[in-house]
Structure 1
Amino acid sequence: MKHKVEMNWQGNLAYKADMDGHELITDATPQIGGDGKGVSPKKLMLTALAGCTGIDMAMILKKMRVSVDDIKVSVEGELTEEQPSYYKNMHVIYEFFGTDLPHQKIERAVKLSEEEYCGVSALYKKVIPVTSEIIYHEK
């Protein structure tokens, strides 16, 4: 299977993509000559990891019949100082909200996503360290 994304120039440094009927605008910040009309392409790498593992979490927990009130996935990436700058590491923070959360099942779901299901994580781990932590918010 192949995926394809086409970007259409919107003037200056902005581009528009149509991905499966969903529009996305990328642009640079005004500090480097853009207009700030869209998201940073580099930060989309963090978004891809959060989205991939987030989808896994929802699917795995549903199959486990684990009920949570909410899930928040944050990804932090540290950039190199030299050019071209790139993420030299990433850290995923999983936050689970609810009552009487089953920690063991949630930890298993995170491990399954990180080690077996999330293709974005699998690719990133080939080139940079990717770490994670779990935070519970219980009522």
Structure 2
Amino acid sequence: MDALYTAVATATGRDGRAVSSDGQVDLPLALPPALGGDGKGTNPEQLFAAGFAACFASAMAAIARQEKIDVSDVSVTAEVGIGKDASDGGFALSVVLRAELPDHLQGERGRALLEKTHAFCPYSKATRGNIPVELVIE
């Protein structure tokens, strides 16, 4: 693959800072209280959730344009969970993608759109087979 764009960011750990090479991202990082931290900063799971939600929504818009479907009122929320990985004692992620769809996209039409989007989205491709991803229509 020839990259059309490459994002570059450096982090100093979960209790540190994340900074992008262009300075657009410059955030304090902190463990969330659920993992024993003070929560006085963002965390990798929040950043991943924001990126996945944005990418999935953009991918859905691309699919919708091809199929001449109006998705102007659609929003996507990503819930990224982290928990113990029983296979190695470390940690693992899970994702729930919630697509808030208008009435004309409820039911099978919306489900088909989500499935096509999930097949097309770069984040979905990257996680497929590695992280369980649940698609929910709301």
TM-score, with structure 1 as normaliser: 0.69
Of 45-54 and 17-26, more deviation after overlay is shown by 17-26
Structure 2 counterpart of 1:114: 118
Structure 2 counterpart of 1:95: 100
Q: CA deviation at 1:81?
A: 3.4
Structure 2 counterpart of 1:28: 30
Alignment partner of 1:17 is 2:19: yes
Q: 1:106 to 1:123 in 2, by over 3 A?
A: same
Deviations 1:44-79 (A, max 9, x none): 222222122111112222332222452121222332
Q: 1:20 to 1:114 in 2, by over 3 A?
A: farther
DSSP 3-state at the match of 1:7? strand
Structure 1, unmatched stretches of 5+, are none
Alignment partner of 1:66 is 2:69: yes
Instruction: Give the number of equivalent residue pairs.
Output: 128
Alpha-carbon distance in structure 2 between the residues aligned to 1:39 and 1:49: 16
Structure 2, unmatched stretches of 5+, are none
After the TM superposition, which parts of structure 1 deviate over 6 Å for at least 4 consecutive aligned residues? none
Alignment partner of 1:79 is 2:82: yes
Q: How much is the aligned-residue C-alpha RMSD, in angstroms?
A: 3.0
DSSP 3-state at the match of 2:136? strand
